[in-house]
Amino acid sequence: MNRISRLSHKSSALCVILCWLLGSAAKTQAQTRGPDYAESVAIGVMSADGEFELSLRLARFPARSGGSVWLHLAVAGQAYSLVDESVNLGVTPAVTPVQADTARFSAGTTTDLWFQTRARQSTAMQGEVSARLKVLAERHPEAGSGTIPVEVELQFVANQLGARLNNDRRWELFGRVTGQVTVNGTTHAVDLPGKWHEQTGNRASFAPAFTYLNVQAPGFGMLAIGYTDRATGFVARESGNTAVTAMRIDPPGAAPRTFTVTLASGEVITGAARTVQNWSVPIEGQRRPGAGVIVDSNQGQLVGSLNDWNPDGPQ
């Protein structure tokens, strides 16, 4: 065996060892997170008149090697949705390195979908989303693939308005979303305010009862999450963030839904949310309702989303 052959043999052996170690590390990493460890990444955007709305979410469960995709899209007077619970992450999926400066959330090999971010340690984080999905022309879908092709190519740039919540397990950033969405061969340009969401951690079920209000306007963003016994979130302005300490909101069915959000500074944000798009997704034998809303508030007009789970909880 000459020197080149010996080097080639050693390199091949080293490659095998490294691949085995990396595969073992990925498997160990997924296992050490526990069977209930979950990752959620999402992007949401809505036009000022509420006629265009897109919400795309990927959930990953590394220990189960599975995940799910939710998509809601309103464009050109039509509504489309998808709930796909058949995402296959592969045999030994690693958890996404959310503490790193760059990260890629992948839907594995069965679904053409990924979220990718860089400059993650900065509030000027940048993200990309790419998806090729088949959807249904419905607002309230059952789980399962559709027949209408949708392609999503979006870029997100945070605008310094955002925060990490719950010991960094939840990351919410307001920013600008650009790119395009193609539905059944027709392409629609996107250049609108939007929000990036990430959440990681162990969860045995979807969540306790909550109402999730996410709205924004130029230079202002508010995320308020009300539970039965507490509230969390923040109001983001160019001057900085202020924590949410209390939230009261009308139950679903009220039109509009009035709300009061109290901040740590003592400031009170009041408003009335009017539904312009409505959706729901099947979760754990129930349906979680959601809506795209336009809000008249003491901060001016705001747009965003309003979602409920066990909606008779927070009042």
Which H, E and C letters describe 208-220, residue by residue? CCEEEEEEEECCE
- CB neighbourhood size of 252 (10 A): 17
Binned at pLDDT 50, 70 and 90, residue 8 comes out as very low
Q: How far is CA 217 from CA 197, 304, 306, in A?
A: 17, 9, 15
Count how many residues are written for the chain: 315
* pLDDT above 60 for 20: no
Instruction: Report the sign of the C-alpha dihedral through residues 241, 42, 149, 128, in that order.
Output: positive
Read off the pLDDT of residues 70-117 as tens digits, 9 standing for 90 and up: 999 999 999 999 999 999 998 888 899 988 999 999 998 778 999 999
Under a CB-based contact definition with an 8 Å cutoff, are residues 44 and 197 in contact?
A: yes
* Dihedral of alpha carbons 160, 196, 127, 93, sign: positive
Flag whether pLDDT at 21 surpasses 50. Answer: no
Per-residue model confidence (pLDDT) at position 145: 85
- Angstrom distance (rounded) from CA 141 to CA 35: 28
Q: What is the pLDDT of residue 7?
A: 38
With residue 246 as reference, give the H or E element that holds it: strand 240-249
* Mean pLDDT value across residues 258-265: 98
pLDDT band at residue 166 using 50, 70 and 90 as cut-offs: low
Does 272 or 173 have the greater pLDDT score?
Answer: 272
Vertex 237: Cα angle to 236 and 242 (nearest 5): 50
- Per-residue pLDDT, 99: 86
Higher pLDDT, 168 or 9: 168
Per-residue model confidence (pLDDT) at position 120: 87
What is the predicted pLDDT for the residue at 269?
Answer: 98
Q: Is the pLDDT of residue 205 over 90?
A: no
Query: What integer pLDDT is reported at residue 284 of this predicted model?
Result: 76
As given in the structure block, the two tokens for residue 86 are 């058949």
pTM of the model: 0.85
Mean pLDDT of the chain: 85
Strand-pair partners of 165:
170
The whole-number average pLDDT for the span 40-62 is: 96
Selection from 5, 68, 63 nearest residue 35 by Cα: 63
Asked whether the predicted pLDDT for residue 19 surpasses 70, the reply is no
Q: What is the pLDDT of residue 11?
A: 42
Q: How far apart are CA 136 and CA 146, in angstroms?
A: 5
| pLDDT band at residue 62 using 50, 70 and 90 as cut-offs | very high
